[in-house]
Amino acid sequence: MDLIKEIKKKSNAYYKRLVEVRRHLHANPELSFKEKNTSAFVKQVLNEFKIPYTDGYCKYGIVAEIKGSKKGDVIYLRGDMDALPIKETNNVDYKSKVEGVMHACGHDVHTTCVLGAAIILNELKKHIKGSIKIIFQPGEEKLPGGASIMIKEGAIKNPKKSKILAQHVHPPLEVGKVGFHAGEYMASADEIYLEIIGKGGHAALPSNFIDTILVASQVVSALHTVVSRFSDPKVPTVLSFGKIFSDGGATNIIPEKVHILGTLRTMDEANRVKLHKVIKKLVQNTVKSYGAKAKVNIKYGYPTLYNDIGLTESSISHAQDFLGSKNVVMLEKRMTAEDFSYFSQMMPACFYRLGTGNKAKNITSPVHTSTFNIDERAIKVGTGLMAYLALKNSQ
């Protein structure tokens, strides 16, 4: 049997149905860890096609399983299900029905594609060596991340004999194309919460008080030396601050407290740990010189996402066979983060990008925007390729 021809035939046959699935999910988005109806809908489709599953992981997570005819290892496919707190402004029939909630990161597409892959793989069991398990994951967009919770609750049974694949929509790539990057691909992402504590009072008498606004500005300036003077220059690293605010306040009041919120991102775990210590030390030393105090809280976020070299290179080769070499591109590292990284710490992993853009049709809006949408032909590509990669990597 020509597997490529057979999978493409099945992808075409199920395309209309999968577009309906995606549009249903898009119109009925649910926020992180609240995917009750999404989970129920996924199980409804799995039941329809008689695909067995276990559920209840992280409350709404599901793991479907398709057992092959021969003994072998496990290939996991992962699709995330949660939406974002964004008000959709697209004028489409399947526009979000939920006020202020939107599938603006393509998780409706991810869920649809792994469902489609499961349907196809279920019809090609005799070609599977071992088993293929499909993870429908809640809560990718919100710490601590649904992946970490599903792992803790036993969704992954034998990581030493497993591999895992996932794809993510990518508007900059035209539909029909996919992108890969082997090795470190996405950064760890930690949240920084600083509280500067001084002595508030009338702004006309600053010498009588401890000016938290001034101290906060000095703290931010000092912390901007972290990357340039303390981080390994060979390791991609970013430290940025997104919010500064005081408790109450007016033009003529020096506030008692000022809060600073930021993010640290890097691609090396040793560098990550080191910079946490540097940040804490710099903050305390800076505020001390002004007679102020500080509370420093750095919340560990998602770790670095590492794409296994061997699995990624084999997946690139298989993708070239499936789509043609011109439609498989190499991507740069990204400083964004993904909780798929937790899976990549356990077993060989490959996280690649699915082209969803179409410049000719003006489908170009980035993810996490109110106008994000896809060229729905990407569903056919994503479904077929994921099924093919699962089969080839299981053999």
How many Cα neighbours within 13 Å face the side chain of 233? 3
DSSP-derived letter for residue 160 is: G
Tokens 């009072």 — which residue?
201
CA distances from residue 343 to 125, 235, 280, 300 in whole angstroms, order as listed: 25, 22, 29, 16
3-state secondary structure of 291: coil
CA distances from residue 190 to 250, 251, 273, 281, 298 in whole angstroms, order as listed: 32, 33, 11, 17, 7
- For residues 46 and 116, the answer to whether their CB atoms sit within 8 Å is no
Residues annotated as catalytic are: 82, 140
- For residues 311 and 269, the answer to whether their CB atoms sit within 8 Å is no
Instruction: Report the first-to-last Cα separation within the chain, whole angstroms.
Output: 15
107: region left, alpha or beta (phi > 0 left; psi from -120 to 50 alpha) = alpha
- For residues 389 and 315, the answer to whether their CB atoms sit within 8 Å is yes
C-alpha 118/C-alpha 132 separation (Å) is 9
Helix axes 36-48, 3-27, angle to 10 degrees: 140
Count CB-CB contacts under 10 A for residue 357: 23
C-alpha 335/C-alpha 337 separation (Å) is 7
Helix axes 3-27, 377-394, angle to 10 degrees: 130
